[in-house]
Structure 1
Amino acid sequence: MPLVLTLCGSLRAASSNRTLLRATEFVAPKGVVFEHYESLGELPHFNPDLETGPLPASVAELRARIGRADAILISCPEYARGIPGSFKNALNWLVGGHEFPDKPIALFNASPRASDAQAALRLVLTTMSGRVIDESSIAIPLLSKSRDAEAIAADPDMRPILERGLAALLAAIEPPQSD
């Protein structure tokens, strides 16, 4: 059963990006397991000197969760036409590890106007050897809509977009190699 790790680029508890990630669970095929990484704000500022000894516990946990995941689902807001600093900090902590390269990644966007951040995020992720799956990267306009995850998943216009994005991500997961 595939494990999808969600990463929300926002620290806001009521983030539309977080709600979009949660809505995906309601449209997922049976057997898909979701884990939500919720400790973005607990990561220390990136410092390469800290990678020479034992990693800070929060960084080690993030890397371990990335390592266990079969795929990564990201929804990230745009701040000042770029990636929020706290999310970029998390990505910086993943560069020195072996867990991230070649993971299939979907980019979900809760605001189609946030195209600059999406382009910057795609550039950073591919530079880090992440495998961004174009067919799984979607945009659903949630700004100024107060809907919960279940209502988004039930929406007749939004549900098919979520289903297509998730299906493309799941199709990109490589089956385990048998010896």
Structure 2
Amino acid sequence: MHILAISGSLREASINSALCRAAARLAPPALRVSVYGGLGGLPLFNPDLEAVAPPAVQAFRAAVGEADALLIASPEYAHGISGPMKNALDWLVGFEGTVGKPIALFNTSPRAHHAYESLREVLQTMSTGIVAGASPAIPLLGACITERAMLESPEVSRAIRSALEALAVHVAGSGASGPVFPLA
């Protein structure tokens, strides 16, 4: 089973990117979690280019389409979705490969709930299926902000593994193109 992890941050020291990398390393043997690294290379969304999407968009859509599920971790900027994440999602709105796609939506800063709720709304509008049991709030502020710290923290690594297992159970039970589950 393949899960594509997407961080909404372009920062080298991003907590969300570190979480995606930690998830890739903590995945059980039956799961392959790959971290998408091309978000910064996507051109700004332009509906005029949808008919013949730029190569970076084609590659992104192919990666999303080939994945059985997505793991999304994105920061909040000024009470909103990060620009790179919103741009990426805009390129996926008209892409059939996202319809019914199971999503694990990680929140690394529960006090930053505005972007998280906005992401949920956008993903619901796109007809994806956010898997509640695979969408934890994991407070990663303070000392646990690096991939290594996340891997070494029993609480954090347990939360990541639990979310991945819930996502895998959901995908196995419903199929990657299974029904869309309403947001709770």
| TM-score normalised according to structure 2 size | 0.89
State the alpha-carbon separation in 2 of the partners of residues 142 and 114 from structure 1.
Answer: 12
Give yes or no for contact 1:153–1:162 (8 Å, CA) kept in 2: no
Matched, 1:124 2:112: no
State the alpha-carbon separation in 2 of the partners of residues 66 and 160 from structure 1.
Answer: 26
Give the secondary-structure state (helix, strand or coil) at the position aligned to 1:157: helix
Give yes or no for contact 1:82–1:116 (8 Å, CA) kept in 2: yes
Q: 1:47-106, CA deviations, whole angstroms, 9 ceiling, x for partnerless residues?
A: 111112x21000000100011000100000000111011210110000111111101000
State the alpha-carbon separation in 1 of the partners of residues 32 and 26 from structure 2.
Answer: 12
Q: CA deviation at 1:153?
A: 2.3
Give the secondary-structure state (helix, strand or coil) at the position aligned to 2:71: strand
User: Which residue of 2 is the match for residue 68 of structure 1?
Assistant: 66
User: Which residue of 2 is the match for residue 41 of structure 1?
Assistant: 40
State the alpha-carbon separation in 1 of the partners of residues 148 and 30 from structure 2.
Answer: 18
Matched, 1:155 2:153: yes
User: Which residue of 2 is the match for residue 15 of structure 1?
Assistant: 14
Equivalent residues, number: 175
Matches of residues 47-62 of structure 1 in structure 2 within 5 Å?
47-52=46-51, 54-62=52-60
State the alpha-carbon separation in 2 of the partners of residues 87 and 25 from structure 1.
Answer: 19
> Structure 2: 5+ residue runs without aligned partners?
178-184
Matches of residues 130-141 of structure 1 in structure 2 within 5 Å?
130-141=128-139
Q: CA deviation at 1:147?
A: 4.5
Matches of residues 90-109 of structure 1 in structure 2 within 5 Å?
90-109=88-107
State the alpha-carbon separation in 1 of the partners of residues 117 and 176 from structure 2.
Answer: 31
Give the secondary-structure state (helix, strand or coil) at the position aligned to 1:99: helix
2:167 to 163, 166, 169: 169
User: Which residue of 1 is the match for residue 83 of structure 2?
Assistant: 85
| TM-score normalised according to structure 1 size | 0.91
Q: CA deviation at 1:125?
A: 0.2
Task: Say what the alpha-carbon RMSD is for the aligned residues.
Answer: 1.6
Poorly superposed stretches of 4+, deviation over 3 Å: 174-177
